[in-house]
Every structure is written in structure tokens, then in C-alpha cells.
């Protein structure tokens, strides 16, 4: 655990008592602060009280009179589409609002670091798609190279749950826009921007607000190195803002759409081959085509970003390649879950938006596509252009019929449930086909999370192919 620094003998309010909220309360206690906790869910409050924490309604008059800060869990809005009333009360009382990410960055470094030979580093990864795989891949390669490393944030452990740094430690953080938009302290050594596509727009007041939330990781923190995916206009703009000149190698540009040239530091992938160029000369390359855990262009983009980070950390290309070869992929992200009768079954339940689904559709041939769920803003009409390899779509979700109608030019069957969709796909699949779950929608119309949806898919595949 990372004890929170700077609030000794002070009261700090914690709003939201899920995983990050409870970790925050414990870390505040370890840092000799008093956590005043609140959650609208009485069961969550009861669990906190069982651990000895004080719970108090933060909406009562005078609740913030002796509070030094309010720490808000990621799912609680502080501005758009409307601020939580507790956040409003804190701001009206002049109380600073922060989150666990801000507390981590103000607390991770300690005076004990003066005794370390190699300073610990923090790598922070954000973006719309691929940040989980990129973070896990960096962590995996570092483990393969026998470097001390921890994985946390939006993946793995909560940021305040990790262990204090050891000599040469590298902490890899996956950070969502919910986390970067509010943190008062953001000081990673290396920051990564994978890509940008519309997502969470209601929470950020539109695309500009969404990009601004991601951009804070770079503008507020001033990382020593920035790895930027430049295949969208926002990434290219961000790289230009951070770079002082064309040869400025503090910015590493990443692409899977174009060969990058010039005097700077570039990493790109074309036709399955990753290339690194520095000062106009090739410095490394990897054939990604045979790496089973990284299928498709979207995973090649993740590989480019992870490669750039690992090179910044001093690893040789061949060491990185060996780490890539042993990477098994992440659950619910292009995860091969079964092969039966010549048919491959792939779980990409994490493809919760249109761009992620497009990437998944581009990674496989002869696809029987299970899709549908709770649509996000903008609909799914754009998916038809990416569905060239789709033999047939099997649509699930409460609004399956409406979803299917948007898939112009694609044969689609309304199945509604995962059980029916898998059954139909198994019955009709031929040798060489891929049955792919890539919903292009949120899961909350039928499931508690994308993980639950993926688990249901895997269970049905096992039951119907076993």
C-alpha cells in the first residue's frame, strides 16, 4: 500500500466506496489522516464501517467545515452531464476535489528513494482503445526481462494498493479519461497516448472535452518522454504541441497507417512488420505476424506503443521481441477461447465502441460476428464499411432489431440472447470460420460489465462445442 502523504492529522472526505474508494480510505489511514466516507449504497457504507471507517452524510449542512479535501471515485461525475451534489457542496465550501490518481502521484516518491541506486519510474497509458493491452504488454515484457514492475490503475491493482517502490521499479498505470480529468497531480516519467475515438462523450461534454481529459496527462505532468499515436488528428496535434523540433526525441510518434520518416524517433507497423527509426535510420524491427497474442492491426498499434516504452526504458529490440512472443493476450480482448472442427472462437467483449469493433473485424477472416448491446452515441452505421469479412452477424441485446437494421449490406439475424447467438453461429459455422464476439456496444442492457458478457460467451461456446 502507498500511504497518502500531506494530510497527516487532517480529515479527508471519500465519496464512493467501491474498489478505489476503499483503497483510498485505507491509504489515508496509513498516512495518518482521518477518512470520512460516504456512499449512497447502505451496503457499501456498512462494509466500510466494519473496517472501522467513519461514514457521514456529506450533504448535511456544515459537512465540509473541517475537511481538507474530497476524494471522488472515477464513476462519479464532477462536471458533465451534471456534477454530483456532494462535489458541488465541496466546491462551494472551497474544498479541493481530487481522486486516487492525484493522491498516488503526490505520495509515491518518498525520502527513502535517496538510498536507491536506480530511481523508480511511472509509465502512464491512456487513450480510447488498446490501453489495457498496451499496459499489460509493457508489464509483461518488463517481467520477461526480469525488471521489477507493477501493473495498476484501470487494470490490475488500484494505484494506492501497490507496494512501495524498490530499486529500479517500473509502475505501469492504465488511466481512463475519468481518472486523468480530475487528478490534481499527474507526473509520469513516460506517458502514452494510444488513439482517440468517440467515447464517454456525455461525461466530458463532447469530443473536445474528452480529448482535453486525455491531454491533461501530458500537459499537466510534463513527462520526460511521450509516446503518441498519430493516426488521428488529435494525436498528431498533441505530438506537435509537445515537440520542440522535428528531431526532438522526447516525443516518439507511433503509427499503423503510415511509414514514419524524419529526424525524430518513430515506431510504426506496416503489413505486420514493426519498425523503429531514429534520426532517419532503422534501429530495430519485429515480425508481428506470427505472434498469436497480438492479432490484427489494432494489436500491432499496441505493440508499437509498448515497444517504444520498453526502448525508452533501455531494453534491446530482441529482448522486447521475446517478451512479445510469450504474451498471451488479455481476457475479453481478441482472446481465442476455443478451436473446434476447424472453427476459431474469439472473445473481444471489450470492443464496446464502434472503433474497437472495427479493429476486431479487421483482425480475422470469414467472421461470424456476434454483436449488439447498449448503443453509444452516434449509432453503429459506420460498422458496415468494416464488415467485409463478415459472413453473417448474430445480434444480441434488448434493442437487437434496431441494431441489426443499421448494419446495411450485412446479413444479420436477430438472436437477442447470447445463448441463441452462439447456438446459431456454431450451427452455421464452417471450417476456417471465426466466431467473433465484438459487440460494438456497452453491456449494461443485459450484463453488469463487459467481463460478464465475455464470460457468458465463453460458457456458451464451451457448452455448445464441448
Dump the DSSP string for 91-147: HHTT--EE-HHHHHHHHS--GGGGG-SS--EEEEEE-SSSHHHHHHHHHHHHHHTT-
Give the pLDDT score at 198: 84
The closest of 81, 132, 124, 159 to 352, measured between CA atoms, is: 132
Per-residue confidence at 253, pLDDT binned at 50, 70, 90? very high
Any binding-site annotation on 465? Answer: no
Separation of alpha carbons 192 and 229, rounded Å:
8
Q: Looking at the predicted structure, is the pLDDT value of residue 290 above 90?
A: no
Q: What is the pTM of this model?
A: 0.87
Binding residue per annotation — 128?
Answer: yes
The pLDDT of residue 207 is: 95
Residue whose grid cell is 502514452: 192
Q: pLDDT at position 190, please?
A: 98
**If pLDDT is split at 50, 70 and 90, which confidence band does 380 have?**
confident
Alpha helices in 181-246 (DSSP H): 201-204, 207-219, 233-242
Give residue 132's pLDDT.
92
Q: Per the annotation, does 206 bind a ligand?
A: no
Q: Which residues pair with 251 in a beta bridge?
A: 226
| CA pseudo-torsion sign 445, 449, 455, 461 | positive
Q: How confident is the model at residue 156 (pLDDT cuts 50, 70, 90)?
A: confident
Per-residue pLDDT at 199 = 81
Q: Return the pLDDT at 376.
A: 80
| Structural domains in the chain plus CATH codes | 11-98 (3.40.50.720), 108-325 (3.40.1190.10), 335-465 (3.90.190.20)
Contact 369, 438 (CB under 8 A): yes
Section 246-266 average pLDDT: 95
Instruction: Please tell me the distance from the alpha carbon of residue 406 to that of residue 384, in angstroms, as a whole number.
Output: 8
Residue 176 counted as an annotated binding residue? no
* Confidence class for position 436, pLDDT limits 50, 70, 90: very high
| pLDDT computed for residue 229 by the predictor | 98
130 annotated to bind ligand: yes
How far is the C-alpha of 127 from the C-alpha of 316, rounded, in Å? 26
Q: What is the DSSP letter of 321?
A: H
The fraction of the chain above a pLDDT of 70, given in percent, is 100
**Contact in structure between 448 and 374 (CB atoms under 8 Å):** no
Residue with cell 472495427: 358
Mean pLDDT calculated for residue range 49-69: 96
pLDDT band at 292 (very low <50, low <70, confident <90, very high): confident
The HSE-up count of residue 284 (CA atoms within 13 Å, CB side) is 20
pLDDT tens for each residue of 128-148: 989 999 999 999 999 999 999
Give the count of beta carbons closer than 10 Å to the beta carbon of residue 290. Answer: 8
Backbone angles phi, psi at 148, to 5 degrees: -65, 130
Binding site annotation covers 132? Answer: yes
In 313-353, alpha helices (H)? 317-325
Give the angle 335-339-343 at the CA atoms, nearest 5°: 105
Distance CA 311, CA 300 (A): 16
How much is the pLDDT for 387? 87
The pLDDT score that the predictor gives to residue 31 is 97
| Mean local confidence (pLDDT), 252-272 | 96
Averaged pLDDT, 259-271:
95
At 355, the pLDDT band (50, 70, 90 cuts) reads: confident
Region 321-341: mean pLDDT is: 92
Question: What is the pLDDT confidence band of residue 4, given thresholds at 50, 70 and 90?
Answer: very high
Cell of 185: 497531480
CB 210 within 8 A of CB 198: yes
Tell me the pLDDT band of 379, cut-offs 50, 70 and 90. confident
Mean pLDDT, rounded, of the chain: 95
**β-strand 281-287 against 273-278: which pairing, if any?**
antiparallel
The sign of the torsion formed by the CA atoms of 176, 180, 185, 190 equals positive
**131 annotated to bind ligand:** yes
Whether pLDDT at 329 is above 90 = no
Using a pLDDT cut of 90, give the percent of the chain over it: 88
Q: Tell me the sheet residues that pair with 48.
A: none
d(CA 390, CA 401): 18
Average pLDDT, stretch 333-342? 92
The pLDDT of 295-323, averaged and rounded, is 96
Span of 26-30, 129-133, 271-275, 308-312 with lowest mean pLDDT: 129-133
Rounded-to-integer distance, Cα 140 and Cα 330, Å: 11
pLDDT value at position 381? 78
Amino acid at each position: 500500500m502507498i500511504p497518502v502523504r500531506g494530510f497527516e492529522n487532517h480529515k479527508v472526505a471519500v465519496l464512493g466506496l467501491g474498489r478505489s474508494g476503499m483503497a483510498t480510505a485505507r491509504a489515508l489511514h496509513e498516512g495518518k489522516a482521518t477518512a470520512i466516507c460516504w456512499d449512497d449504497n447502505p451496503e457499501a457504507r456498512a462494509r466500510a464501517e466494519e473496517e472501522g471507517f467513519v461514514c457521514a452524510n456529506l450533504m448535511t449542512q456544515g459537512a465540509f467545515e473541517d475537511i481538507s479535501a474530497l476524494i471522488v471515485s472515477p464513476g462519479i461525475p464532477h462536471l458533465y452531464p451534471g456534477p454530483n451534489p456532494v462535489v458541488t457542496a465541496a466546491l462551494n465550501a472551497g474544498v479541493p476535489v481530487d481522486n486516487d490518481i492525484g493522491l498516488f502521484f503526490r505520495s509515491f516518491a518518498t525520502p527513502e528513494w535517496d538510498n536507491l541506486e536506480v530511481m523508480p519510474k511511472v509509465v502512464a497509458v491512456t487513450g480510447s482503445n488498446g490501453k489495457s493491452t498496451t499496459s499489460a504488454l509493457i508489464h509483461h515484457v518488463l517481467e520477461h526481462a526480469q525488471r521489477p514492475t507493477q501493473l495498476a490503475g484501470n487494470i490490475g491493482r488500484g494505484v494506492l494498493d501497490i507496494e512501495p517502490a524498490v530499486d529500479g521499479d517500473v509502475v505501469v498505470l492504465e488511466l481512463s479519461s475519468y481518472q486523468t480529468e480530475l487528478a490534481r497531480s499527474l507526473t509520469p516519467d513516460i506517458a502514452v497516448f494510444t488513439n482517440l475515438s468517440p467515447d464517454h462523450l456525455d461525461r466530458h461534454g463532447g469530443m473536445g472535452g474528452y480529448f482535453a481529459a486525455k491531454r491533461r496527462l501530458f500537459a499537466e505532468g510534463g513527462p520526460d518522454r511521450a509516446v503518441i499515436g498519430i493516426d488521428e488528428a488529435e494525436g498528431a496535434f498533441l505530438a506537435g504541441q509537445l515537440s520542440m523540433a522535428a528531431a526532438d526525441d522526447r516525443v516518439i510518434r507511433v503509427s499503423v497507417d503510415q511509414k514514419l520518416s524524419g529526424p525524430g524517433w518513430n515506431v510504426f507497423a506496416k503489413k505486420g512488420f514493426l519498425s523503429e527509426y531514429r534520426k532517419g535510420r532503422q534501429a530495430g524491427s519485429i515480425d508481428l505476424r506470427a505472434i498469436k497474442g497480438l492479432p490484427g492491426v489494432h494489436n500491432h498499434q499496441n505493440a508499437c506503443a509498448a515497444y517504444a516504452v520498453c526502448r525508452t526504458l533501455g531494453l534491446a529490440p530482441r529482448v522486447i521481441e521475446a517478451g512479445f512472443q510469450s504474451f498471451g493476450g488479455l481476457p475479453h480482448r481478441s482472446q481465442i477461447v476455443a478451436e473446434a472442427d476447424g472453427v476459431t472462437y474469439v472473445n473481444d467483449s471489450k470492443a464496446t465502441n464502434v472503433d474497437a469493433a472495427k479493429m476486431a473485424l479487421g483482425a480475422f477472416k470469414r467472421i461470424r460476428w456476434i454483436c449488439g448491446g447498449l448503443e453509444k452515441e452516434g449509432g453503429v452505421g459506420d460498422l458496415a464499411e468494416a464488415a467485409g469479412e463478415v459472413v453473417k452477424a448474430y445480434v444480441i441485446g434488448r434493442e437487437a432489431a434496431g441494431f441489426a437494421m443499421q448494419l446495411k449490406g450485412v446479413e444479420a439475424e436477430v438472436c437477442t440472447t447470447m445463448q441463441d447467438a452462439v447456438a446459431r453461429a456454431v450451427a452455421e459455422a464452417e471450417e476456417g470460420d471465426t466466431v467473433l464476439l465484438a459487440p460494438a456496444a456497452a453491456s449494461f442492457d443485459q450484463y453488469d460489465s463487459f467481463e460478464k458478457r465475455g464470460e457468458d460467451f465463453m460458457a456458451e461456446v464451451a457448452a455448445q462445442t464441448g
